[in-house]
Amino acid sequence: MQVSVGDTLPEFVREGTVDHWNRFAAANYEFAAHHWDDAVARDEGFPGAFAMAPLQQSFIYAMLRGWMGDQGRIEAVNIKLRSPFIRGRTLTTSGEVTGIIERDGSRSVEFNITQTDDQDTLVSEATAVVGLF
Amino acid sequence: MTRSMVTDEMRSIVGKVMRETVSHPISLADIRKWVMAVYYPDPPPRQFWDEAFAATLPQGGIVAPEDFNPFAWMTAQPTPLDPPISQTAFSEAELGVDPPAYKAMLLTDIKTRHNGQAMRPGDVIRSTHKITDYFEREGRMGHMLYTTLSHELTNQDGAWIRTTDSVLVRY
């Protein structure tokens, strides 16, 4: 697999809808009301209902998987959550190759990743490492 | 100087297993539902739902995505008859220690390491939760207590699958 520092990954973009979040709630057994009820979320100080952090995490995994296909495996993902992903907004997960490490015949690729909404809010920052086969 | 929120009793439980969970055997349906939910509204990658296609790949069959949660809905341990536990929240009270008083708890960091050991249909996954660190800072909301909660997954053979260190802040 050809890879160079500075390569960008295909973005993973999802709308912030309860249609989507309900599906993830069912898969992850995660039913906190602030993920679907704007009134509850506002009462907790948020502008509206917001997505589950594990779903945002899964978007990062999906982007990495979309880039590497079956040519590698995810070794590490470190996420710093900065702001909630609010209902009605669109979240774009983006990534860039920042390093390539070759050791004992194996190759690992390092990434910087951001998740930003359509109001230019930084939702999360992350780093990741993928091992290539 | 602000008084620390960390008591000697809280320090005494750092590194101790506060929660142990055992999954039921993972099913193909569990994996398919997970990827349907993550990739919605697009179809998920074929490797997660087409057994014939997945058999042609290096893993030799369908395996769960690295981010999969094998503990949703019901676990073999604890059972539905045991006292309920949260998969996302935690409390020192699980080890008999009084937690500090706080108004809010938020997740700030999720750090996950994997070793390439896949979760496969039929696998039974065991997880342990431990508090591994406390640290305190002054922040916009006043004095804030950060707690690192380490969550480790192994399979029925004892093979390590992943460890997630979540940092939660209380203030």
Kind and range of the H or E run holding B132: strand B126-139
Q: For chain A, what is the mean pLDDT? A: 96
Q: Does B141 reach chain A within 8 Å, measured CB to CB?
A: no
Q: How many CA atoms lie within 13 A of B145 on its CB side?
A: 22
Confidence (pLDDT) at B21 = 95
Q: Does domain B8-26+73-170 have CATH number 2.40.10?
A: no
For the segment A96-111, what is each residue's pLDDT rounded down to a tens digit? 999 999 988 899 999 9
Q: Which of B27, B32, B36, B38 to mutate to test binding with chain A, by most A CBs within 10 Å of its CB?
A: B38
Using a CB-CB distance cutoff of 8 angstroms, which residues of chain B are in contact with residue A57?
67, 110, 112
pLDDT digits (tens, 9 = 90+) for A59-99: 999 999 999 998 999 999 999 999 999 999 999 999 999 99
- Please give the Cα distance from A80 to A126 (Å, whole number): 6
Any chain A CB within 8 A of the CB of B109?
Answer: yes
The per-residue pLDDT of chain B, averaged, comes to 93
- Split at pLDDT 50, 70, 90, the class of A1 is confident
Q: Using CA coordinates, name the residue in chain A closest to B163.
A: A76
A131 touching chain B per CB within 8 A: yes
Q: What is the pLDDT along chain B (171 residues), one digit of tens a residue?
A: 568 899 999 999 999 999 999 999 999 999 999 999 999 999 999 999 999 999 999 889 999 999 999 999 999 999 989 877 766 678 899 899 999 988 888 899 999 999 889 999 999 999 999 999 999 999 877 899 999 999 999 999 999 999 999 999 998
Identity of the amino acid at A133: F
Binary contact (A79, B40; C-beta < 8 A) = no
Roughly how many angstroms between the first and final C-alpha of chain A, as a whole number? 9
3-state secondary structure of B36: helix
Q: Please write the tens of the pLDDT for every residue from A7-49.
A: 999 999 999 999 999 999 999 998 999 999 999 999 988 999 9
**Amino acid (1-letter code) at residue B11:** R
Strand ranges for chain A from DSSP E: 12-15, 72-81, 90-103, 106-117, 122-132
Distance CA B128, CA B18 (A): 7
In a mutational test of the B interface, the residue from A22, A44, A65 whose CB has the highest number of chain B CBs within 10 Å is: A65
Task: Give pLDDT, residue B1.
Answer: 54
Q: What sign does the CA torsion over A49, A52, A53, A55 have?
A: negative
CATH code assigned to A12-16+52-132: 3.10.129.10
CB A80 within 8 A of CB B107: no
Calculate helix-pair angle for A53-68, A18-28, nearest 10 degrees. 90
> Residue A61, CB half-sphere, CA atoms under 13 Å: how many?
27
- Interface ipTM: 0.96
What residue ranges do the domains of chain A occupy? Answer: 12-16+52-132
Please tell me the predicted confidence (pLDDT) of residue A40.
Answer: 93
By DSSP bridging, strand B160-170 and strand B17-22 are unpaired
Q: How far away is chain B from the Cα of A104, in angstroms, using its nearest Cα?
A: 17
- What residue spans define the domains of chain B? 8-26+73-170, 27-63
Q: Classify each residue of B67-89 as buried b or exposed e, where b means 16 or more C-beta atoms within 10 Å of its C-beta.
A: bbbbbbeebeeeeeeeeeeebbe
- In chain B, which residue's Cα lies nearest the Cα of A79? B110
